[in-house]
Amino acid sequence: MLIVICGATAIGKSGLALALAQRYGSIIISADSRQVYREFNIGTAKPTIAEQNLVPHYLIDICNPTDTMTVADYQQQVQSILGQRLEDIPPVSLSPNSLVSQSPIFLVGGTGLYIKSIVRGMKIPRVAPNHELRSQLLSIGQSQLYAMLQQVDSVAAQKIHPHDSVRTLRALEVFYITGTPISDLQGENPPDYPILQIGLDCNVGHLDSRIARRTESMVKDGFVEEVEYLCQKYGRDLPLLNTLGYQEIKQYLTGDISLDEAKELTFLHTRQFAKRQRTWFRKDGQIEWFDTESPDLLEQVWSRIQKFINNDNADNLTPVKF
């Protein structure tokens, strides 16, 4: 049984998941595309060591910053964990009168594609990036690449915007390496275990305040020093250092902007990112939404999960024959 807790950045997903997982004696699997990388801690709002000691966390600190974690890699890792844990987790009694059920597993984060790959069982072509082929294709130009894609995979071309160079390149790469259109290799194979998706949200003003507080807190916790260390160890051209927050602090360290400007840009770009996340998750009609500003949020979500678990058990009860 899988409980997804999703929503925009700084919305309070980690705190809620930690409280729930402690009640259930369960585990948390991260669905954050940057928390998988070691040493990127403060800027990714990674759970602290103390928090990780309270509840086992998975898929945090599993890659070096110079490695690449693809969606296919992530999906494989999660499916492996779920395959083992769903069999090994002991049952838990929710209340004296409730049915006894397996303790749920929590999948928590804001990377929509990571979550979708698990919840929908996305079929992802496991084709490693071919840098030589990509270099050749990039020299052609996006308009010509898209025209090529329309010829070899019209189905994929209909789903990809003509200006989306990343997805166009990937679709062509898969075709030229496998000889099969990427649209033929994609699809969905939903898992057979029950899934409840919990979404957290609040009004924009409250979310802006949360983002502002987090930005200030990161700087106070040593974010500047973290970025400076990473620049020295891996070089300023490391792709991860061009992601949200790190790029802005890097600009401050090079003297291009002041620290106040770096914080303001981090707030602005995080706000824009949160808007995109909200748009992504709102498209999924299976997500049940809760107001993160509600004073009894924990009890609301706890009650919904209890009902979900009990209903699932009731649906799967086998009639006894006398």
Whether 23 and 204 have beta carbons less than 8 Å apart is answered as no
pTM score, two decimals? 0.83
| Per-residue model confidence as pLDDT tens for the chain (322 residues) | 999 999 999 999 999 999 999 999 999 999 999 999 999 999 999 999 999 999 999 999 999 999 988 899 999 999 999 988 765 544 444 443 333 346 899 999 999 999 999 999 988 887 888 889 999 998 999 999 999 999 999 999 999 999 999 899 999 999 999 999 998 888 888 898 999 999 999 999 999 999 999 999 999 999 999 999 999 999 999 999 999 999 999 999 999 999 999 999 999 999 999 999 999 999 999 999 999 999 999 999 999 999 999 886 545 433 323 2
How many other CB atoms sit within 10 Å of the CB of residue 299? 10
- Residue 85's pLDDT is 73
Overall residue count recorded for the chain in this entry: 322
- Residue 68's pLDDT is 87
Q: Tell me the C-alpha distance between 208 and 273, whole Å.
A: 12
- In the chain, the domains with their CATH numbers are 2-124+189-218+286-315 (3.40.50.300), 131-185 (1.10.20.140)
- Residue 126's pLDDT is 78
- Residue 106's pLDDT is 97
Structure tokens at 222: 């040593």
Q: Tell me the C-alpha distance between 203 and 206, whole Å.
A: 6
